[in-house]
Amino acid sequence: MAGELEGEAVLSRQADAEDTPVPTPFRSRSGGGGPTRDGWVAAHLRDIPRSGIRDFFDIVSTRRDVISLGIGEPDFETPWHIREASIYALDHGATSYTANLGLLELRQAIAAYVGESCGAAYDPQTEILVTVGVSEALDLAVRAVCAPGDEVLYHEPTYVAYAPVVAFAHGTPVPVPTRREDGFRLTRAMLEPALTRRTKAILLNFPTNPTGAVLAREDAAGIARLAVERDLLVITDEIYAELTYDGGERVNVAALPGMKERTIFLNGFSKAWAMTGFRVGFACAPPELTEAMMKIHQYTMMCAPILAQKAAVEALRSGRNDVARMRAEYERRRNFIHSSLNEMGLPCHLPQGAFYAFPYVGDYGLSSKDFALRLLDEQKVACVPGSAFGPSGEGFLRCSYATSMEALKEALSRMAAFVKGLSAEFHG
């Protein structure tokens, strides 16, 4: 399948090259002659839009005294003992590259952690790759498996990077809409109509950014059976797995029958350990897939920074209580934001993981972007319009509760005033 598609892509690239004049600096490829370098940008990148989150926060950055529920980043500082591990390592001369796969002690700690928390056994020598955040792991996973024209299914609304990353790899992103009425769950039956002979992989993100949905065991089992029957890969981004509430079960598709050999499991330290600035994550996969990802990683990144890796070892060995403490606080805020939003008239399902609430705001005749802009203008509260997460996010707002309870209370009381005004205006 891949060879045939590669052939098509090569042909279309050749046709492109013959038809198009060689671009020169300050002359657009379309021949307009204006002062633009657009012609240098690879054709497959030109149509990929900037992240809607970034666009919105460019606007937010021009305003003063805004309370932001926009950022997908923990408000906690990295626990001190984890920072100390980096400082100690630096003090003792840890200033070098590491093995391309990452420090063996970190890979061993990851193997122990994943085995215990997800029930999937990975060999630290051949099946674990340490990366620069889940961002790099995601890019490697997609590039390692995607030939030009291969289709990658993902549920939507979901993380803003998925469609662009697939397009960067010359693949075709295929969104599968999920619905508020179903708690944004994803089932086998929802995926089936989107399958074609070009489908290569299913990309999962549970708990989901931005909806907070989690994957129920029966849904995971159905998706796993589909993957086995149709010989598909599953890439699962579980960066929020530690932030699952109500004592909910964590289901890892890699641990289901027949799945380990066809799953690339991604996780990292940014969210649950509050380590966004360290830039460290990992991918677990069968040896041949790990080797393929490693090939890209070694030529493009070499290795994740050694000081971040040292901190990650400490996080896995001794960070369990920190994660539990932060999870408990997020859960307290989740309960508060969920009830406040529903009380003020913004219907919101109960997010069962991550740190986002995703209320429906479509009852007031405004697009999600206009709703967010007016909320910003009138009450100085910044939330991300749901449309930033794909067309099926239209009508929703992403409100992050990775912010202090005090700020959250103030933001929600401002939102309640905004909704009251809007309600009078719209419903009379």
Q: Which residues bind ligand PLP (CB under 6 A)?
A: 72, 133-135, 159, 205, 209, 237, 239, 268, 270, 276, 281
* Residue placing its CB nearer to ligand PLP in the complex, 2 or 71: 71
Which contiguous run of DSSP H or E holds residue 190? helix 188-191
* Least distance between ligand PLP and beta carbon 397 (Å): 17
Within 10 Å of residue 178's Cβ, how many Cβ atoms? 22
* Residue placing its CB nearer to ligand PLP in the complex, 148 or 385: 385
* Least distance between ligand PLP and beta carbon 276 (Å): 5
Question: For residues 58 and 53, what is the distance between their CA atoms, to the nearest angstrom?
Answer: 9
* Least distance between ligand PLP and beta carbon 36 (Å): 32
Q: How far apart are the first and last CA of the chain?
A: 59
* Residue placing its CB nearer to ligand PLP in the complex, 106 or 366: 106
* For the chain, counts of helices (H) and of strands (E): 14, 12
* Least distance between ligand PLP and beta carbon 132 (Å): 7
Question: For residues 285 and 263, what is the distance between their CA atoms, to the nearest angstrom?
Answer: 6
* Residue placing its CB nearer to ligand PLP in the complex, 208 or 379: 208
Q: Give the amino acid at 381.
A: V
Which residue is listed with tokens 């009251």?
420
* Least distance between ligand PLP and beta carbon 139 (Å): 10
Question: For residues 400 and 53, what is the distance between their CA atoms, to the nearest angstrom?
Answer: 12
Helix (H, G, I), strand (E, B) or coil at 199: strand
Nearest to 300 by CA among 140, 125, 98: 140
* Residue placing its CB nearer to ligand PLP in the complex, 134 or 226: 134
* Least distance between ligand PLP and beta carbon 268 (Å): 4
* Least distance between ligand PLP and beta carbon 416 (Å): 27
- Ranked by CB distance to ligand PLP, the top (closest) residue is 133
* Least distance between ligand PLP and beta carbon 270 (Å): 3
Q: At how many degrees (to 10) do helices 405-427 and 368-379 cross?
A: 110
Given a contact cutoff of 8 angstroms between Cβ atoms, the answer to whether 142 and 162 are in contact is no
Question: For residues 216 and 6, what is the distance between their CA atoms, to the nearest angstrom?
Answer: 37
* Least distance between ligand PLP and beta carbon 8 (Å): 31
- Give the tokens for residue 310: 């040292």
Cα angle 163, 169, 172 (rounded to 5 degrees) comes to 50
* Least distance between ligand PLP and beta carbon 163 (Å): 13
Q: Which conformational region is residue 26 in: left (phi greater than 0), alpha (psi within -120 to 50 degrees), or beta?
A: left
* Residue placing its CB nearer to ligand PLP in the complex, 216 or 235: 235
* Residue placing its CB nearer to ligand PLP in the complex, 149 or 212: 212
- Give the tokens for residue 226: 């589909």
* Residue placing its CB nearer to ligand PLP in the complex, 114 or 366: 114
Q: What are the beta bridge partners of residue 372?
A: none
* Residue placing its CB nearer to ligand PLP in the complex, 316 or 419: 316
Q: Give the amino acid at 218.
A: E
Helix spans in 271-404 (H)? 287-300, 306-318, 320-344, 368-379
* Least distance between ligand PLP and beta carbon 237 (Å): 5
* Residue placing its CB nearer to ligand PLP in the complex, 102 or 149: 102
Which residue is listed with tokens 């931005």?
210
Contacts 24+ apart (CB under 8 A), 10-15: none
* Residue placing its CB nearer to ligand PLP in the complex, 205 or 211: 205
